[in-house]
Structure 1
Amino acid sequence: MLKKVFGSAVFGVEATTVTVEVNVDTGIGYHLVGLPDNAIKESNYRIAAALQNNGYKIPGKKIIINMSPADLRKEGSAYDLTLAIGILAASKQIKAEDLDRYLIMGELSLDGNLQPIKGALPIAIKAREEGYKGFILPIQNAKEAAIVNDLEVYGVENIKEVINFFDKGEALQQIKIDTRKEFEKNLNFPEFDFADVKGQESIKRCMEIAAAGGHNIILIGPPGAGKTMLAKRLPSILPPMTLHEALETTKIHSVVGRVKDAGLMSQRPFRSPHHTISNVALVGGGSYPQPGEISLSHNGVLFLDELPEFKREVLEVMRQPLEDREVTISRAKFTVTYPSSFMLVASMNPSPGGYFNDPDAPVTSSPAEMQRYLSKISGPLLDRIDIHIEVTPVPFEKLSDDQIAESSVDIRKRVTCAREIQTQRFKDFDNVHYNAQMSTKQIRKYCKLDDASLQLLKTAMERLNLSARAYDRILKVARTIADLEQSETVLGNHISEAIQYRSLDRDGWLG
């Protein structure tokens, strides 16, 4: 007898429905076809034990299972439950009249309990698109899938519950979530707050500008100056995520199995990979491509601490994603594109010893050593970072001061106001939402300068020997400063402040 059960394969951040055709006939043998990987081929052992421990069995007949489309690679252990229900239905051990109305996924333990799967959210979205009535999956992933409206989501703990649902009509508990309510509940509670940071007003100002325009930023300073502390607090002043951004971000984290009980992500991601990371782990890829750190930080912040310690080839592969805000992984038979619209925050010491060219420093480095250390970062990569700023240690008077600094909530209000101005400005453009994303054509249109400002910028360009890309960066940052002041035009003081934030371009900054 032939029975069809429906599962799903996640490809990139999108899901594709997989039809599992189970045919039980006279004879002997178990044949699984349709490009399954080793984890799926081994599933017959898990299924056999799970069924036996729950009073059922794999029939001693000829079983042929085809996973269609047969030319699409299937991977992982999430098809165990799909295959098991298909075998039971095809061998008439259970009734399964409504089998075609549900999408079923789950990994089986030997006792029949279900283990969590990856990609529950994109699978649920696909199930709703294709008109399935419900989605049956492990209880650990139920909250994540229940984000999707107009789809019945059933979280189950054991295969016995699924068998009784189809065979005896016993009801499964439907998981319901008010997506918007859940999303808004956790929206305004940042873990880290700028009120914790003593002093560093100029650096906070830089962070505010970076957040307002979505600009990449690099912090240069000695150990203990507060670079990491400042970077960790940047997500707390970024505008709250929209529901669309939250869904997009949760989909990516779902694919790598990082969501589970959390449901919809409401806080912007903050990723801080170690400097020993490989280029595949950073940008994504592998035999079966997975999102890398730059995609996991989509709509959030990617923090690279001690930038010169990263391998040069790892940093260079970030160039294209920084410009295009997506990363494309190509293989011989397929191409996968992951979104990667993130803010890059990097920090670095100015020298191998960690200190500026200061005779009073615990470890001194000569200007030549400092230059050699800085040269580990390529010019083209630095050109893609809009703001370079020096971070100096906080004096004791500031550290011991009891005065509470401005909170992230207050800074976020100004940032959100500036972002709203930019949203209105770029409403006719699909791929531009804030100043850092402006193309050259848009820069010319929205960053027009008067003669005095133009002369100021020309002098800075000539003295600092800036590239054309650095010229564009200065104009973008100046536009953001103007937006924070709610100024329609870019003025001379906005240009002069933006020029200050190109520390690594200034002659003599080494001291």
Structure 2
Amino acid sequence: MALARSWSIALLGIEGRLVEIEADIGAGMPGTKLVGLPDPGLREAKDRVRAAIRNSRHSWPDTHVTLGLSPANLPKVGSSYDLGIAVAVLAASGVVPGVELSGTVMLGELALDGRVRPVPGVLPALLAARRLGHRRAVVPAGCVSEAALVEGLEVLGAPGLADVVAWLRQEGELVRPDPVETGPAPHAPDLTDVVGQPEARWALEVAAAGGHHVLLTGPPGVGKTMLATRLPGLLPPLSTEEALEVAAVRSVDGSLSRSSPLVLVPPFVAPHHSISVSALVGGGNGLATPGAISKAHGGVLFLDEAAEFGAERLESLRTVLEEGEIRIARSRGVVRYPASFQLVLASNPCPCAPPREIDCTCSPSARRRYLGRLSGPLLDRVDLRVRMRPVTAMRSSEAHPPESTEVVRKRVLVARDRATARWADRGWRTNAAVPGPVLWREFALPRSATALVERALQHGAITARGADRCLRVAWTLADLDGAACPDGDHVASALEFRDRRAA
């Protein structure tokens, strides 16, 4: 009778938990039993591992083998445990010593010929392994560049099971990662391409400076999509921590670039209005996978033709906009994914959407029903609402050419720096993240400055949440102006943004 152990990581969302893999070789009829709440894909691991060991010129034990994955009540999903299972069996058989297994995490799917195939979720798994005190990780050779993003952990890449056996016997070496390089920034469209629309351009600058959500309303062809796609170019680059969170979500999803996994440019995600609720917020059987809102974490989520998305999809965003994360309950457990993004909504004013408003053939009730798809509770969470007008001239005046993204971005970065310095002690980086009670108490403005907001509250023009958001926008306007704190004009401008009608 022989017993050996190895270790791997189970992922619940992007949160990792340590899994101890035990292989017990005992007397009895030949056979293999896998216990520890495996999913159907993992139940097949014993067949994959047996074939991989045999095709790597080693023999499978000819007695009874029991494989246990602990903790037993934790769901185990996927094929990333294959390598750990194979190594535990070989160590229990005496083929390899178990000295190097202590403190080492094993991740990888085994092909029948012994190759170690890439698996999703390597980055969040190794971040969890480092947090749990492990010092080394063996991952598929194709995932080495992704795994190298985790500092403080020795990362080794395994092309095949035979290479891992040779390394454990100290008869060979595994692949070492190259130095981590930041991926190239994708080409960003420039604001100079947008003709006219000074109000919308100003709203985009305010949104970038304060991290605010935006609603753009106007007829087709006025530049709503053009403006939205230029917002990421105005935002500051992601910090290393934020970039790792973005990469971790894409690693779980399987969409992370293996050549340049770390990108500092904020992501831009624009799903089609026919997207399902599960694809938007995350879902699936067993343990939920991340949706479009999590892929937009740290960047921009753009919903073009927002009124066409349907109430169920739009209302699913309400809690996410407040909390910055999504929690999804499924049969095998509850997972959490980060979802802190800037929301940009674009909508036509009515179903027929002619270039000129006077040509509209929709009845007043049809217009109300169309814009009514954007519910009051959702719009209450949108800080800036802009009505865009038809473009009347395609040539800009040579005396006043439109500002480029680089010019506007400099002002945005200065405003962001002012906000970051003000809220640094409290852990907030943008004005949009500051809770309302802090703005009304600890950073209270003079009553003369907030008189318009209080009057709007009294008349029911805005809600208490809307009043909080007015103050957040006012602080952003003050940062753009270089003022120490907002005055009455800043508050009035912020209230005007909220009072704009989308129809």
Both structures adopt the same fold (TM-score exceeding 0.5): yes
- Structure 1 residue 69: Cα displacement: 1.0
Q: Tell me: CA distance 1:280–1:196, structure 2 relative to 1, closer, same or farther (3 Å).
A: same
Q: Which residue pairs with 2:463 in the alignment?
A: 467
Letter in structure 2 aligned against 1:222: P
Q: Which residue pairs with 1:207 in the alignment?
A: 204
Distance 1:64 1:260 in 2: 37
Percent identity at matched positions?
39
- Structure 1 residue 168: Cα displacement: 4.8
Equivalenced residues, count = 498
Q: Match for 2:278 among 274, 277, 280?
A: 280
Distance 1:476 1:168 in 2: 60
Q: Match for 1:491 among 454, 475, 487?
A: 487
Distance 2:187 2:137 in 1: 33
Distance 1:367 1:299 in 2: 39
Q: Which residue pairs with 1:163 in the alignment?
A: 165
Report if the CA contact (8 A) 2:25-2:66 is conserved. Answer: yes
Q: Match for 1:100 among 99, 102, 120?
A: 102
Q: Match for 2:43 among 27, 41, 44?
A: 41
Q: Which residue pairs with 2:72 in the alignment?
A: 70
Q: Within 5 Å, which residues of 2 pair with 1:367-382?
A: 367-382=364-379
Q: Secondary structure at the match of 2:327?
A: strand
What's the CA shift string for 1:406-432, capped at 9, x where partnerless? Answer: 3322222211111111112212323x3
- Structure 1 residue 54: Cα displacement: 2.7
Letter in structure 1 aligned against 2:138: I
Report if the CA contact (8 A) 2:253-2:290 is conserved. Answer: yes
Report if the CA contact (8 A) 1:122-1:251 is conserved. Answer: yes
Q: Which residue pairs with 2:14 in the alignment?
A: 13
Q: Runs of 5+ in structure 2 lacking a partner?
A: none
Q: Which residue pairs with 1:236 in the alignment?
A: 233
Q: Secondary structure at the match of 1:153?
A: strand
- Structure 1 residue 288: Cα displacement: 0.7
Q: Which residue pairs with 1:339 in the alignment?
A: 338
Q: Tell me: CA distance 1:305–1:503, structure 2 relative to 1, closer, same or farther (3 Å).
A: farther
Q: Tell me: CA distance 1:201–1:57, structure 2 relative to 1, closer, same or farther (3 Å).
A: farther
Deviates more, 1:144-153 or 1:407-416: 407-416
Q: Which residue pairs with 1:314 in the alignment?
A: 313
- Structure 1 residue 165: Cα displacement: 1.3
TM-align CA RMSD: 2.6
Report if the CA contact (8 A) 1:213-1:434 is conserved. Answer: yes
- Structure 1 residue 471: Cα displacement: 2.6
- Structure 1 residue 494: Cα displacement: 2.0
Q: Secondary structure at the match of 2:366?
A: helix
Distance 1:342 1:14 in 2: 20
Q: Tell me: CA distance 1:227–1:401, structure 2 relative to 1, closer, same or farther (3 Å).
A: farther
Distance 1:457 1:47 in 2: 67
Q: Tell me: CA distance 1:126–1:210, structure 2 relative to 1, closer, same or farther (3 Å).
A: same
**Are 1:23 and 2:20 matched, yes or no?**
no
Deviates more, 1:379-388 or 1:4-13: 4-13
Distance 1:335 1:369 in 2: 41
Q: Secondary structure at the match of 1:501?
A: helix
Letter in structure 2 aligned against 1:72: L
Deviates more, 1:318-327 or 1:277-286: 277-286
What's the CA shift string for 1:43-85, capped at 9, x where partnerless? Answer: 2222233233332332322110001111111010111111122
Q: Match for 1:191 among 181, 188, 191?
A: 188
- Structure 1 residue 251: Cα displacement: 2.1
Q: Secondary structure at the match of 1:3?
A: strand
Q: Tell me: CA distance 1:63–1:398, structure 2 relative to 1, closer, same or farther (3 Å).
A: same
Distance 1:393 1:250 in 2: 40
**Are 1:482 and 2:478 matched, yes or no?**
yes
Distance 1:111 1:399 in 2: 65
Distance 1:447 1:486 in 2: 18
Q: Within 5 Å, which residues of 2 pair with 1:496-507?
A: 496-502=492-498, 504=500, 506=501
**Are 1:393 and 2:390 matched, yes or no?**
yes
What's the CA shift string for 1:104-131, capped at 9, x where partnerless? Answer: 1111222222221122112212322344
Report if the CA contact (8 A) 1:390-1:503 is conserved. Answer: no
- Structure 1 residue 379: Cα displacement: 0.5
Q: Secondary structure at the match of 1:170?
A: coil
Q: Match for 1:420 among 417, 422, 441?
A: 417
Report if the CA contact (8 A) 2:137-2:153 is conserved. Answer: yes
**Are 1:289 and 2:288 matched, yes or no?**
yes
Deviates more, 1:417-426 or 1:30-39: 417-426
In the superposition, the TM-score normalised over structure 2's length comes to 0.91
Letter in structure 1 aligned against 2:277: N
Report if the CA contact (8 A) 1:450-1:491 is conserved. Answer: no
Q: Which residue pairs with 1:60 in the alignment?
A: 62
Q: Tell me: CA distance 1:465–1:3, structure 2 relative to 1, closer, same or farther (3 Å).
A: same
